[in-house]
Amino acid sequence: MRKKWMSSTLALVLAGTTVASMMPAVPVSAKGAEAASGTTYYVDSKKGKDSNAGTSESEAFQTLDKVNELDLNPGDTILLKKGSVFEDQALKFTKEDSGTAEAPVKVSTYGEGDRPQINTNGHGLWELNYGTPLDNQNHKWKGTVSSSILIEDAEYLEIEGLELTNDRNSATDTEKDKAYNDAYAMDRTGVAGVAKDNGTVDHIVLNDLYIHNVTGNVYNKHMTNGGIYFIVAKPTNEGETGIARYNDIQIRNCSLDTVNRWGIAVGYTYAHDKFQGAILDEVAFLKYGHEHVVIRNNYVKEAGGDGITAMYALRPLVEHNMTDCVAQEINDRIYCCPKNRAGKVAAAIWPWKCKDALFRYNEAADTRLNQDGMAYDADSGDGTTYEYNYSRQNEGGCVMFCLDEAIHNTFSHNVSYDDLGGTISPSLNPDALLSHNIFYVREGVPFVRNQMGGGNYTEEENQIIVLK
């Protein structure tokens, strides 16, 4: 399923711009240099049998359970037949299923027809435990999660072409009778990634996935809860396996629709205490944070909470994405039974505790109002740059520079069209720069959002055009 999501307005704005280099080659640490041709396994839900060898189309497996039993080796490929539907099933990859830099493990499709569907329906259960409370004591940090695909310490893994759901409405779902906004509804994910006992986890690629109808828990921000969510948990023995972190996460060309709570997030970490204060040292990221995070050309529609977020990453690149009507459930009608949890805020496309994050050529439209509700949010990071982005009719405004731990932020050459509530939210930020932007502001809408002012920011050669 491919969608054309760049608006005509954005296309006109960006016409004539040139990107000299989309992204340099990504260096990865080769933990195994051996090349391997690998084995190709076939899975056909309609005509396959788990008693088959699985190594040809005529001898295909039938279920994903059989795939999970395999001991995958570098260069192995899993092919799901188009038109297959896998009900109440999930895929799980562990450290032992890793490929190498020269021979990654791949998951793709074969045949003709619709994408292979994995309809997990609350199955695929596993236990998430960060190993330490999160930076906000009211955020849940351990519990049971259901995921259509779980990537647990596996690396050099590439997955493409699948359709994933994890919907509570199935007749086989154990939670089918729970209220949608039940405080203790199970956390769910389309794809969940966990780094824990494999040191730096290298090279995970998610490409051209269609993920929809994931009915997770709207209250739990940092459980693997939503469309795609990567986290880092405390190692069992850090001295033996090394500090857990990610290097080279690529999420590209994916379409997500009706997922809860998050759209795409990479990657909250147990080591959050290493990133305190406003000035973030690159050394901390090289030791505890993530490198070479690329989130490109994805479409997120009607996420319950936030759209796309990079976290604890050094120089993440977030480009050519679109969010459409996110933060759908951060309101008093849905978000009304949080119990002892906090986090009734959401924005569209933003970083958390990143250094030198680059957000460019993105589009955010119709983000719903909440305590935030804006298109873009430079939040608690050092050196965030937003350039050549477009925003339209976001109910919380265009951009926020969030409090005193968000420093060295630049917002330049962007276009805001009819963003509501107040175009910018300085929010006590010390040093934001707004330059060469075009703001189309509806008559009567304040440029600075009410109760979101203060701080210091600099304006250079911006245009403000009043819409009447």
Question: Domains of the chain: which residue ranges?
Answer: 8-14+39-373
Catalytic residue among 76, 356, 379, 382: 379
**Residues 57, 44, 86: CA angle, nearest 5 degrees:** 165
Beta-carbon count within 10 A of 36 CB: 15
Q: How far is CA 83 from CA 29, 43, 255, in A?
A: 37, 11, 19
CA distance 159 to 313: 22
Q: Scanning the structure block, which residue is given the tokens 């307005």?
A: 9
**pLDDT score of 6:** 44
Contacts of 295 (CB under 8 A, 6+ apart): 251, 252, 264, 266, 308, 310, 316, 317, 318, 319, 321
Catalytic residue among 372, 377, 382, 419: 372
**pLDDT score of 174:** 84
379 flagged as catalytic? yes
CA distance 213 to 167: 5
**pLDDT score of 37:** 85
Report residues of the chain scoring pLDDT below 70: 1-36
Beta bridge partners of 386: 359, 411
**pLDDT score of 3:** 37
Helix (H, G, I), strand (E, B) or coil at 187: strand
Residues 230, 64, 168, 307: is their CA dihedral positive or negative?
A: positive
Q: Are 119 and 147 in contact (CB under 8 A)?
A: no
Closest by Cα among 396, 394, 380, 390 to 449 = 396
**pLDDT score of 352:** 97
Q: Are 202 and 154 in contact (CB under 8 A)?
A: no
Q: Are 447 and 424 in contact (CB under 8 A)?
A: yes
**pLDDT score of 34:** 45
**pLDDT score of 17:** 41
CA distance 333 to 179: 13
372 flagged as catalytic? yes
**pLDDT score of 4:** 36
